[in-house]
Amino acid sequence: MNFDATFWVAISFFIFLGVLFYFKVPQKVFGALNESINKIKKDIDEAEKLKEEAKNILSEYEAKLSKSKVEVDLMIKNAQKESETNIIKINDQFHSIFENRKKMAEDKIKQMKLQATKDIKNYSVEVAIIALEKIIKNSVDKKKLDKIYISSVDEAKKILKNKSI
């Protein structure tokens, strides 16, 4: 019997398969594949857990971010209110200082006016006395003139003293 090469290849193939089964290679390959599958499932489960943790952390940070936005808005509103209050306060202070200065200036003007009026009265009395002296000197004789002069000067002095007090 003459066997051709195909026959020997088939026999070699079956022997090879027998050796593989004898050494339990298919079970080892199957076990390795199952182990790889289990490892992949485990990695997927871990990835899902990490994904959930990431979602939780993301939601926490989004909550913190929205909370901080609200706080920032509140801080801005408070700062605006405070600045408006300070502006009003400074404006009121400015107006009160201005009013005080205005009142002081008005008081000073009144005092100056009173002083000027007093000075004018004093000066007019002096001018009147001088004019009276000239009139009396020209119209009355010397003895009468001296008596009238002394009495009118004394009288004028008394009147001036009373008015200036």
Q: What digits encode the pLDDT tens for the residues 56-93? A: 999 999 999 999 999 999 999 999 999 999 999 999 99
**pTM (whole model) above 0.95:** no
Q: How many domains does the chain have?
A: 1
d(C-alpha 55, C-alpha 65), whole Å:
15
Asked whether the predicted pLDDT for residue 115 surpasses 70, the reply is yes
Asked whether the predicted pLDDT for residue 19 surpasses 60, the reply is yes
The sign of the torsion formed by the CA atoms of 42, 43, 44, 45 equals positive
Q: What's the pLDDT score for residue 162?
A: 74
Q: What's the pLDDT score for residue 128?
A: 80
Asked whether the predicted pLDDT for residue 165 surpasses 70, the reply is no
- Compute the CA torsion angle 78, 82, 83, 88 (nearest 10 deg): 140
Q: What is the mean pLDDT of the chain?
A: 87
Residue given tokens 């020997």 in the structure block: 8
Q: What does each C-alpha distance from 95 to 46, 87, 92, 106 come to in angstroms?
A: 72, 12, 5, 16
Mean pLDDT of 154-161: 77
Q: What does each C-alpha distance from 18 to 11, 22, 25, 120 come to in angstroms?
A: 10, 6, 10, 147
Q: Are 163 and 121 in contact (CB under 8 A)?
A: yes
Q: What does each C-alpha distance from 136 to 12, 70, 131, 141 come to in angstroms?
A: 174, 98, 9, 9
Mean pLDDT of 111-119: 90
Rg (CA), the chain: 62
Range of the domain at 115: 5-164
Confidence band of 54 (pLDDT split at 50, 70, 90): very high
